[in-house]
Chain A
Amino acid sequence: MSTTPQVTVGEMLRRNGVSRRAFIKFCTASASAMALPAWMGAAMAEQLRHAPRPSVVYLSFQECTGCFESFTRSFAPTIENLMFDVISLDYDDTLMAASGSAAEAALATAMKDNYGKYVLIVDGSIPTGAGGACCTAGGRSADMTLRAAAEGAAVILAVGTCASFGGIPFANPNPTNAWPVSGIVAGKPIINVSGCPPIPEVITGTLLQYVTTGKLPDLDENLRPKAYFGNTIHDRCYRRPFYDAGKFAKSFDDEGARSGWCLYELGCKGPTTYNACATMKWNDGTSFPIESGHGCLGCSEPDFWDKGSFYAAQSSADWNSAGETSPREVLELAGGTAAAGAVLGVGAAGMGRLRQHHSEKE
Chain B
Amino acid sequence: MSRLSDIPVRVEGLPQSAPQSGTSSTTPAGLGGGLAAILSELATLLGRLAASEETAMIDLRSLPMSPADRILLQRALGDGEVHATLKAQGLSTARETGVAGVWWIEHRDAHDELCAELLEVARFPQILASAPDEIQDAAVALQARNSAAA
Binding site for B on A (CB under 8 A): 18-22, 24-26, 28-29, 31-33, 35, 37-39, 41-42, 75-76, 78, 236-241, 260, 278-280, 283-286, 291
Is B51 an interface residue when CB atoms closer than 8 A count as contact?
A: no
Contacts known (A25-B89, A238-B64, A279-B64); A285 close to B33, Cβ less than 8 A: no
How many positions in chain B have a CB within 8 Å of any CB in the partner chain?
34
B115 and A241: CB pair below 8 A? no
Other-chain residue from A29, A35, A237, A291 in contact with B62 (beta carbon distance below 8 A)? A35
Binding site for A on B (CB under 8 A): 4, 31-33, 55-59, 61-66, 69, 86, 88-90, 92, 107, 109, 113-118, 120, 126-127, 131, 134
CA distance A239 to B69 in the complex (A): 13
Question: Is chain B's binding surface mostly helix, strand, loop or mixed?
Answer: mixed
Contacts known (A20-B134, A76-B109, A238-B66); A32 close to B86, Cβ less than 8 A: no
A-B contact pairs, 16 of them (CB 8 A): A20-B131, A25-B127, A28-B127, A29-B107, A32-B115, A33-B115, A35-B62, A37-B59, A38-B118, A75-B113, A75-B115, A76-B109, A238-B69, A239-B31, A260-B66, A285-B61
Q: Which of B33, B56, B113 has the most CB of A within 10 A?
A: B113
B62 and A39: CB pair below 8 A? no
B31 and A29: CB pair below 8 A? no
Minimal beta-carbon separation of A30 from chain B (angstroms): 9
**Who on chain B is nearest to A291 by CB?**
B66
Contacts known (A28-B118, A29-B109, A76-B116); A236 close to B127, Cβ less than 8 A: no
Other-chain residue from B31, B57, B89, B115 in contact with A38 (beta carbon distance below 8 A)? B57
B115 and A18: CB pair below 8 A? no
